Structure 1
Amino acid sequence: MNIPWLEPDSPLPAPELAQKNGSALEGLVAAGGGLSVGRLCEAYQQGMFPWFSQGQPVLWWSPDPRMVLQTADFKLHRSFRKTLHSFIMDDQCEIRINHDFSAVIRHCAQASRKGKPGTWIVEEMILAYEALHAQGLAHTVETWQDNRLVGGLYCVSMGDTLFGESMFALQTDASKIALAALVAFARHHELAWIDCQQNTAHLASLGAREMPRMKFLKLVREARKDVSRAWLFQPEYWQTLLLDKATK
């Protein structure tokens, strides 16, 4: 099996050239090349992302199909709607954006270890995304209660693209509240979709669906890349969700 090896200055292959052999490597585009800010930008602008474990080289992926949450399709289930309403009405609860990026990504790394021998959010990955955050391209959405971080997520956004990476929760529904806040933020700023990378039952229950890689790449390529926006969360953004009808 011939997997392209990248030197630091060599370009990524096209995502359409990903492995298609039906093995565990299906969707793998290339290996190596480091995790510089420039390399990460190159990858995300082409719909690829890094995913590897400790002791492995950097691996670049473009799975087919791709799990995507259309923000208009987010499912606000009846029980969670009550939880969200209670959170919004509690003066001791709030959403913060980019308040403590390092804490969020390290909590996500710990969460990804549970029940597994390792984590894909290795130290090299943490440092790379902290550098991306310093450039204003990686963000956290954080759930705070009683002035304590209880859940959150981090994501990558360039222009009108929005790539979800990982979530964590220290108490029930804390990560789901952060995701709901990201959806509310995205709707307010007319961001139509959030990349979720791979299919999970949890994401599917919230409205994410698989789409063919070619359709996803078309979304990425057609999205505006030169748009900037203030990454701040305003309480009125919740209205973009609360006007939805609750589902079972």
Structure 2
Amino acid sequence: MIFQLTSDLIFPPVRLTHSSGILAIGGDLSTQRLKLAYRSGIFPWFEDGEPITWWSPDPRMVLFLDELKVSKSMKVVLNKKQFTVTYNTCFRTVIENCQTVKRVGQNGTWITDDMVDAYVKLHEEGIAKSIEVWDGEELVGGLYGIDLGHIFCGESMFSKVSNASKVAFISLVNQLKAGDYKLLDCQVYNDHLASLGAREISREHFLEILESETIPR
């Protein structure tokens, strides 16, 4: 079944998630609810005009940091040093670009105006973070997500020129490797993430990692 949330700050147990990956609908995008959701392995994903929908898919797409795949052609791009990468310099601009960029096979966006405002608030608390890719003074790519301290939950990325989003992704992974991070959460499968080394694991395995300081490989 799919649960209907109320104003109470609570989610049903993740083990009760519907086979579609949807756990619940309703509630709000308050900072406290979003923090509770991510700490519980849950994230919001819905389109404008729809009720807020909360997901905890099984399987879960993740990247174990030492499994990052960088193609030979991508190594050439990185070695050219065409792009400059910064962190947390223009979070709202990054998420707004993720909101408006055109994507193949998609007519609209799941990043609503309310979601932009909610994640900007999380950024102001140091929880939501962005990676920016510049070509000179032009912002050409980037990504944003939620930093849980040992897991980074990637939310969305954008690219205005070829390879810019890959530069952001690879730079993020290298930064996470330098810290005490366990993995990068990519949420659901797509071919692009798989080409970079991400793979699916069970929700149970993901929750074990989320709740533990040790990766059960």
Range into which the TM-score falls when normalised by the shorter chain: over 0.9
Question: Which of the pair has more CA radius of gyration?
Answer: 1
Alpha-carbon spacing, 1:203–1:113, altered in 2? closer, same or farther (3 Å): closer
**Residue pairs, 1:1-248, within 5 angstroms:** 2-20=1-19, 26-87=20-81, 90=82, 93-111=83-101, 115-223=105-213
In 2: Cα distance, 1:148 partner to 1:222 partner: 40
C-alpha distance in 2, partners of 1:114/1:101? 24
Opposite residue 158 of structure 2, the aligned amino acid is F
Counterparts of 1:56 and 1:27 in 2: how far apart (Å)? Answer: 17
Contact 2:42 2:55 in 1 (8 A): yes
Q: 1:33 corresponds to which letter in structure 2?
A: G
Decide whether the 8 Å contact of 2:48 with 2:109 is kept in 1. yes
What is aligned with 1:237? none
Contact 1:140 1:152 in 2 (8 A): yes
Rate the CA distance shift 1:223–1:200 in 2: closer, same or farther, 3 A. same
CA drift at 1:192: 2.4
Task: Return the alpha-carbon distance in structure 1 between the equivalents of residues 102 and 121 of structure 2.
Answer: 21
The whole-number CA distance in structure 1 between the counterparts of 2:106 and 2:167 is 25
Report the residue type matching 1:37 in the other structure: T
Counterpart residue identity of residue 151, structure 2: T
Identical amino acids, percent of aligned pairs: 41
Q: Residue 118 of structure 1: CA displacement?
A: 1.9
Offset at residue 15 of structure 1 (A): 1.3
Tell me the distance in 2 between the aligned counterparts of 1:82 and 1:198: 29
SS state at 1:149 partner:
strand
For residue 137 of structure 1, what is the amino acid of its counterpart? I
For the residues of structure 2 that align with 1:37 and 1:52, how far apart are their CA atoms?
17
For the residue of structure 2 that corresponds to 1:207, the secondary structure is coil
CA contact (8 A) 2:149 2:181 kept: no
Matched length? 214
RMSD: 1.4
